[in-house]
Amino acid sequence: MTKRTATHLSWHPDRCKKLAVAYCRLEFQQNTEDMSFDSYIWDLENPNKPELVLKPSSPLVSLEYNPKDTHVLVGGCYNGQMAYWDTRKGGLPVEVSTVEAGHRDPVYGAIWLQSKTGTECFSASTDGQVLWWDIRKLSKPTETLILDITREGLLEKALGASTLEFEPTMPTKFMVGTEQGIVIACNRKAKTPPEKITGTYSGHHGPIYALARNPFFPKIFLTVGDWTARIWSEETKESSIMWTKYQLSYLTNGCWSTTRPSVFFTTKMDGTLDVWDFLFKQKDPSLSLKVCDEPLFSLRLQDNGCVVGCGSKLGTVTLLEISSGLSTLQRNEKNLANAMFERETKREKILEARHREMQLKELARSEGLDVEKVLKESPQEALDRAQKEFFEVIEAELQRRARAETQQPGTKVKEHTEEEVVAQGEEGELPKYEEEDEEKDAAKEP
């Protein structure tokens, strides 16, 4: 039988003894006729047989328990459909979205929203769309956002979503990690679709496979992609504030500890789980554990921070108990972690300011402007100066046209070049070119 990847893990919100696992083979057109579409809910006390078999119409890529109703799960399918299950009603989905209304690519992220009804969720896919759903009516999405960072809203320019992030304490904000290595920050409550994309963060050379906010400091978030894990601050968009050195093996997933602000986990293609504690050690992981011989793909930590689940490419899910040293909050750890985040954020801001200053100097030299004067200008002063120069050029052109209209019939006024019009903005006067009419020219001839 064809082995399938454990693509996503979701712990039961109330009982940490249950784990829902989505299984799917992600290689394009590698599905075989004998391959199962099933995903499973496991009881940890009986690891030999699943408690419930979920039977979607297409293999599940993502699967999430509803935090408000723990009998309900939502899943994103390989063919772009959305489906939801009620475990009290068995393994068949209660409702499935239509192929036409869903995504056009696999659904790599499906997350429940903090709504009053507890029935709303949203999804993201490599087709470049984020869709909002109400599971009571999956016939069509309630809202759509195209991930076009040019803000033109064009699907052909959209970036493909490889992971999705949502923090319940920030109900209108969410972030999307893309195939192009860019994180897109969004605000759902913006007035227009282009305004919903509030910013971007670039730092990875390939797809972002994990994106998570720090549970203690929500403005700090973790990204995992290519050979590095990076820690970012919302305040610095040009660069991450901390990052791991480049690993020998490709990184596949990552998450923060739910109990310690300075600890995070990463998985790699060589089957290794790394545990990082940057208050203890910055250059290397505090613990590196070889979990299996095949690549690890999915990762999920229990809310109590004591057990972590790792899903492999061949479908094996390994559960590991975290030692008390890595799961128990240390004395003064919050303050120390916050101080480190603030220090590194400040350092990056200084570097960003220095970089902008160097760019301004180079621009000033290339345009022959006074470097010191340009550097001392505030953004408002620079805007006022540019605005004044622009309107001076416009006024000069209007005056030239007015003079041309008042000339006697038969008199020609030479058209000024664009360079002369621009020169007017700097020198205050255009050179005058007038020619007598043809009769006067003829009279001058002998």
Quote the pLDDT of residue 375.
56
Stretches where the chain sits below pLDDT 70 are 1-2, 28-33, 367-378, 382, 408-446
Burial of 429 (0-12, 13-18, 19+ CB in 10 A): exposed
**Beta strands at 307-312 and 39-43: parallel, antiparallel or unpaired:** unpaired
Collapsing DSSP to helix, strand or coil, 336 comes out as helix
Burial of 296 (0-12, 13-18, 19+ CB in 10 A): buried
Q: Residue 57 and residue 90: Cα distance in Å, rounded?
A: 15
8 Å CB contact between 127 and 105: yes
Strand partners, 221: 213, 232
pLDDT, tens only, 75-121? 999 999 999 999 999 999 999 999 998 999 999 999 999 888 889 99
E strand intervals along 157-295: 161-166, 173-178, 182-187, 197-202, 208-213, 220-225, 228-233, 242-243, 251-256, 263-268, 272-277, 287-290
Quote the pLDDT of residue 42.
95
**What domains are there in the chain, each with its CATH number?**
5-336 (2.130.10.10), 393-431 (no CATH)
Q: Please count the other Cβ atoms lying within 10 Å of the Cβ belonging to residue 353.
A: 10
8 Å CB contact between 60 and 73: no
pLDDT, tens only, 294-329? 999 999 999 888 999 999 999 999 999 999 999 999
Of 204, 202, 262, nearest in space to 229 by CA? 204
